[in-house]
Chains A and B, each alone.
Chain A
Amino acid sequence: MAEPIINLENINVLFNQTSTAVTAVKNVTLQVNKGEIYGVVGYSGAGKSTLVRVINLLQLPTSGKVEVNGDVLFEKNDTVSKRIGAKDLRVKRRNIGMIFQHFNLLEEKTVLRNVEFALRHSQKKEKEITDRAIRLLKLVGLEDRKDFYPAQLSGGQQQRVAIARALANDPEILISDEATSALDPKSTVQILDLLKRINRELGLTIVLITHQMEAVKQVADKIAVMSSGEIIERGDLVNVFTHPQKELTKELIGTKGELAKAIHLLDKDAIENLNHEEWELVHLTYTGQDVVDPIAATLYKKFDVEVSIIFGNVDELRGTPVGTLFVTLKGDAKSRQNAVDYLKQVGVDVDEYNSKEVIA
């Protein structure tokens, strides 16, 4: 049974501006299990940063309950109001590493001193602290840069130092707030690979905030979609990507764009020539094996349904290939229904758009 390590209950965060109050987070409940990589996505201003900063109380919620690894750090509702003491909070925070979009390294300290800074209260001897810091720099592949200052490193290297620093106290949780947003594609891939590796090798639980869909696609196990302070959709990565429910989710993951493209590609004449009663556009999504290849033949033979492919592509979700295919099915209603049932039976997800929807 999956064990929740982060448990947020009914979190609300209000910012009192001079004129108006902004509710940055609205009644959010979120559980993250040990060892998971949990992606939080949404447009700018959705409240992602505010929500994750609640986990280590960099942001105090207005109400709700924050529980990390079984300890209640904060709880406030109509009947209770409690909060962990400052000293205990500092100890707890060392168990929750955090990395940021702009790295936030101390610029007047060398790479080594930046990592050592994190270990200052670790009760270790100076020598042990240095040894540990160097080991961490090895982990991120930067031990040869230990005497450099952050300004002498590239963005990707700075982020790796920040990761080493965040991991210094052996945290069980790592929060990444747009950690790859300021990096070029190559460094982004390197950082994501590094995160995946430490997730696997150290069993670290990672909360990954991003507005880059590519990032969550590569590494997340689960995702939550945020909009206007609320989580509007959540679940297993592959599930959410293949069965997006909310319009915003479809927009974020590009389903909407793909549908528009498919309709665009169906040229006018083709549409005119089709008997409105006898065809439909379907969006097929399938994971794993390439099951689609023989489909056209099968559907024709078995159900007397003619299949023409409009376009398709294969995406990768956490290493699993996920294919997407837009096709038109031609045939009478009964046969088409049989064909669709068959597709579902063999594990293909089918979204049907009837001809009227397409033309409108």
Chain B
Amino acid sequence: MIQWLSHVMPNVVHLGWLGQNGWLTSIGQTLYMTLWSALFGGVVGMIFGVGLVIFDKHGIAENKILFNIFDKIVSVFRAIPFIILLAFIAPVTQAIVGTQIGPTAALVSLSLGVFPFYARQVQAAISSVDQGKIEAAQSLGATTSDLIFDVYLREASSELIRVTTVTLISLIGLTAMAGAIGAGGLGNTAIAYGYNQFSNDVTLVATLLVLILVVIVQLSGDALARATSHSHR
């Protein structure tokens, strides 16, 4: 088996499992980048998404100034192409994590790249909660935090899981892009050891692995969203 593999995919086998450029190492790096930036970008994006809804006109904590600040920040970061953000943010990254290369360095730009996207998704998801539910809760004397957590976030939970899935998948795409400029991970493997060295077998396997990752995320997201929803018989 190994022998056959080293015959058809010599470069793939040559990279090995572990070691600096090994397959497990790069899978690990991709997961590391995806999960941590999902956490940072997700928390910030969630806060901005909720803010955009509650501070909006007729929102439960209507505030024109805060809404405009949130809206502008999200729009500006959303407008910067990720690949430019990567370069642009390098000095900031240096200041925060002490280096400009490697997976940890990439976290800063990945988080910044993903949060505005997620913020807009969250905004759309929780805006879809029926205004009637908000009013009913208000008529019961619900506080702002009740409204955010028990009505907006809870009632939109399956929609939120769906947009989180979409965001995670696009984040995997971003990690591949970050890989291209030296952040490690499967993207890096595909470019540095595949494309740049004319090793098409490496590119192919790296691509397949990214694809598998995407499918796993999509399927688990769908299943979770379905399990969370009680709004249909």
In the complex, which residues of chain A have a beta carbon less than 8 angstroms from the beta carbon of B133? 104-107
Question: Which of A58, A100, A108 is close to B231, meaning CB atoms less than 8 Å apart?
Answer: A108
Q: Is A76 an interface residue (CB 8 A)?
A: no
Contact (Cβ within 8 A) A94 B140: yes
Segment with Cβ contacts to B, from A64-72, A117-125, A129-137 = A117-125
Q: Is A90 an interface residue (CB 8 A)?
A: yes
Question: Whole-angstrom distance from the CB of A183 to the nearest CB of chain B?
Answer: 16
In the complex, which residues of chain B have a beta carbon less than 8 angstroms from the beta carbon of A149? 230-231
In the complex, which residues of chain B have a beta carbon less than 8 angstroms from the beta carbon of A222? none
Contact (Cβ within 8 A) A58 B141: no
In the complex, which residues of chain B have a beta carbon less than 8 angstroms from the beta carbon of A94? 140-141
Q: Is B3 an interface residue (CB 8 A)?
A: no
In the complex, which residues of chain B have a beta carbon less than 8 angstroms from the beta carbon of A90? 141-143
Contact (Cβ within 8 A) A108 B135: no
Question: Which of B136, B155, B233 is close to A108, meaning CB atoms less than 8 Å apart?
Answer: B155
Which of A106, A149, A175 has the most CB atoms of chain B within a 10 A radius of its CB?
A106
Interface on chain B toward A: helix, strand, loop, or mixed SS?
helix
Please measure, in the bound complex, the distance between the C-alpha atom of A193 and the C-alpha atom of B5, giving whole angstroms.
78
Contact (Cβ within 8 A) A97 B233: no
Nearest-neighbor residue (CB-CB) of A98 within chain B? B139
Please measure, in the bound complex, the distance between the C-alpha atom of A90 and the C-alpha atom of B138, giving whole angstroms.
8
| Chain B positions 129 through 153: 1 when the CB is less than 8 Å from some CB of chain A, otherwise 0 | 0101101111111110010001100
Q: How many residues of chain A are within 8 Å of chain B by beta carbon?
A: 32
Nearest-neighbor residue (CB-CB) of B133 within chain A? A104
Contact (Cβ within 8 A) B141 A117: no
Which of B138, B146, B151, B157 has the most CB atoms of chain A within a 10 A radius of its CB?
B138
Question: Whole-angstrom distance from the CB of B125 to the nearest CB of chain A?
Answer: 13
A102-B132, A117-B150, A120-B146 given as contacts; is B231 within 8 A of A151 (CB)?
yes
Q: Is B64 an interface residue (CB 8 A)?
A: no
Which of A107, A152, A162 has the most CB atoms of chain B within a 10 A radius of its CB?
A107
Q: Is A93 an interface residue (CB 8 A)?
A: yes
Contact (Cβ within 8 A) B155 A104: no
Nearest-neighbor residue (CB-CB) of A87 within chain B? B143
Question: Which of B141, B154, B155, B229 is close to A91, meaning CB atoms less than 8 Å apart?
Answer: B141
Contact (Cβ within 8 A) B138 A58: yes
Nearest-neighbor residue (CB-CB) of B230 within chain A? A149
In the complex, which residues of chain B have a beta carbon less than 8 angstroms from the beta carbon of A105? 133, 136
Q: Is A340 an interface residue (CB 8 A)?
A: no
Question: Whole-angstrom distance from the CB of A345 to the nearest CB of chain B?
Answer: 50
Contact (Cβ within 8 A) B155 A107: yes
Please measure, in the bound complex, the distance between the C-alpha atom of A166 and the C-alpha atom of B135, giving whole angstroms.
12
**Sample of 20 further A-B pairs with CB below 8 A, known A90-B142, A104-B135, A106-B151:** A90-B143, A91-B141, A94-B141, A96-B139, A100-B135, A102-B132, A104-B130, A105-B133, A106-B137, A107-B133, A107-B230, A117-B150, A120-B142, A120-B146, A149-B230, A149-B231, A151-B230, A151-B231, A152-B233, A175-B139
9 closest A-B pairs by CB: A104-B136, A98-B139, A149-B230, A90-B141, A94-B141, A104-B132, A107-B231, A93-B141, A118-B140
Binding site for A on B (CB under 8 A): 130, 132-133, 135-143, 146, 150-151, 154-155, 157, 228-233
Binding site for B on A (CB under 8 A): 56, 58, 90-94, 96-98, 100, 102, 104-109, 117-118, 120-121, 149-152, 162, 165-166, 168-169, 175
